Amino acid sequence: MIQLISGLLVSVLMATASWADEMKLAVTTSFHNSGLSDILLPAIKQDIGLEVQLLVVGTGQALRLGRAGDVDAILVHSRKAEDKFLADGNGTHRRPIMYNDFVVIGPKSDRATVAQATSAVEAFQKLAAESAPFVSRGDDSGTHKKELSLWSEAGLDVDEFEGWYNAVGAGMGAALNTASGLNAYIMADRASWLNFGNKGDLVLLYSGDPALFNQYTYIPISQTRHSHVKRDLAQKLEAWLVSDRAETLINDYKINGEGLFVFNATGE
């Protein structure tokens, strides 16, 4: 009898676990590569009983998943693309959650003298003038979109670049690995760079321009557009992401004593 009761109890507990709330969230590879998701996801499950399934892609692909209704919410970092996504009726609103910045990485020798640049645009002009080996994500991610905008502001067209410009069509981690292997320059988000283990001869050469500000934003998918999306769970997750608990975990997440993100959730 005791064994029977024990078996029934185990079955009930397993069934209860299977009933846990689940939702799908498309996130950028830079967010995932930072390691922060390994901190946040267990806390989310513990605090509000929500199992968040991550689809780790570039911002462009995350927006496409959102448009198709394949996820319940997205966490992305490309304001212009986000605004169009909302204007087209695909999301309900955008909620800033946290930010960091983009940085320019390159060989210690720094033959393009990027470290001496006085702006991000000048750094990119120096790279082009020297035809210094450069790795681009080339994947329509938020990082890629920002990189392309900087080339454009510098008066340069990537379609005219020759063999020194390497578009790899990959996520942040893979692109950094390629740059390390080629001893090339690359633009990355600070969090991914700090959490990257295969730095080789690469160092952080340039940062600090306000143009390199990198905002991460949460957008629930419109239930009007896609009736099957889990709007209630997306709202539940949003409430947690803007909570004091999330603020503490995000601000306290550090590598070698350096913070990777700054919480700035607002009602915008």
> Which CATH number do you get for residue 252?
3.40.190.10
> Does residue 199 sit in the same domain as residue 105?
yes
- Find the mean pLDDT for residues 113-132: 98
> Does residue 84 sit in the same domain as residue 122?
no
Higher pLDDT, 134 or 12: 134
pLDDT of residue 267: 54
> Does residue 124 sit in the same domain as residue 186?
yes
pLDDT in tens, 237-252: 999 999 999 999 999 9
90 near 225, Cβ under 8 Å? yes
Query: Is the predicted pLDDT of residue 1 greater than 80, yes or no?
Result: no
H-type alpha helices, the chain: 2-18, 29-33, 36-48, 59-68, 79-87, 120-130, 142-153, 172-182, 190-194, 231-241, 244-252
> Does residue 67 sit in the same domain as residue 30?
yes
Using 50, 70 and 90 to split pLDDT, how confident is the model at 13?
very low
Please give the Cα distance from 30 to 22 (Å, whole number).
23
Average pLDDT for the chain: 91
58 near 64, Cβ under 8 Å? no
> Does residue 206 sit in the same domain as residue 156?
yes
Alpha carbon separation from 61 to 28, 29, 139, 205 (Å, rounded)? 9, 11, 9, 29
In a domain, 124, yes or no: yes
Tell me the pTM.
0.86
- Find the mean pLDDT for residues 60-87: 96
98 near 251, Cβ under 8 Å? no
Query: Is the predicted pLDDT of residue 17 greater than 60, yes or no?
Result: no
- Find the mean pLDDT for residues 202-220: 97
> Does residue 7 sit in the same domain as residue 42?
yes
- Find the mean pLDDT for residues 184-198: 94
pLDDT of residue 31: 86
Among 212, 228, 248, identify where a domain stops: 212
**What residues form DSSP beta bridges with 103?**
188
DSSP string, 147-184: HHHHHHHTT--GGG--TTEEE----HHHHHHHHHHHT-
Query: Is the predicted pLDDT of residue 5 greater than 80, yes or no?
Result: no
In a domain, 11, yes or no: yes
> Does residue 39 sit in the same domain as residue 87?
yes
pLDDT of residue 20: 64
Please give the Cα distance from 167 to 151 (Å, whole number).
14
Q: What are phi and psi of 88, to 5 degrees?
A: -80, 0
In a domain, 256, yes or no: yes
- The proportion of the chain whose per-residue pLDDT surpasses 70, expressed as a percent, equals 92
Query: Is the predicted pLDDT of residue 15 greater than 70, yes or no?
Result: no
In a domain, 113, yes or no: yes
Query: Is the predicted pLDDT of residue 4 greater than 50, yes or no?
Result: no
pLDDT of residue 2: 47
Among 185, 212, 239, identify where a domain stops: 212
Domain that holds residue 142: 101-212
> Does residue 90 sit in the same domain as residue 219?
yes
In a domain, 268, yes or no: no
Query: Is the predicted pLDDT of residue 18 greater than 50, yes or no?
Result: no
pLDDT of residue 212: 97
Among 170, 186, 212, identify where a domain stops: 212
> Does residue 221 sit in the same domain as residue 207?
no
In a domain, 107, yes or no: yes
In a domain, 20, yes or no: yes
For 8-37, b where at least 16 C-beta lie within 10 A, e where not — what string? Answer: eeeeeeeeeeeeeeebbbbbbbbbbbbebb
> Does residue 47 sit in the same domain as residue 138?
no
DSSP state of 197: S
> Does residue 204 sit in the same domain as residue 232?
no
- The proportion of the chain whose per-residue pLDDT surpasses 90, expressed as a percent, equals 86
Query: Is the predicted pLDDT of residue 16 greater than 80, yes or no?
Result: no
In a domain, 42, yes or no: yes
User: For the chain, what is the domain count?
Assistant: 2
> Does residue 219 sit in the same domain as residue 186?
no
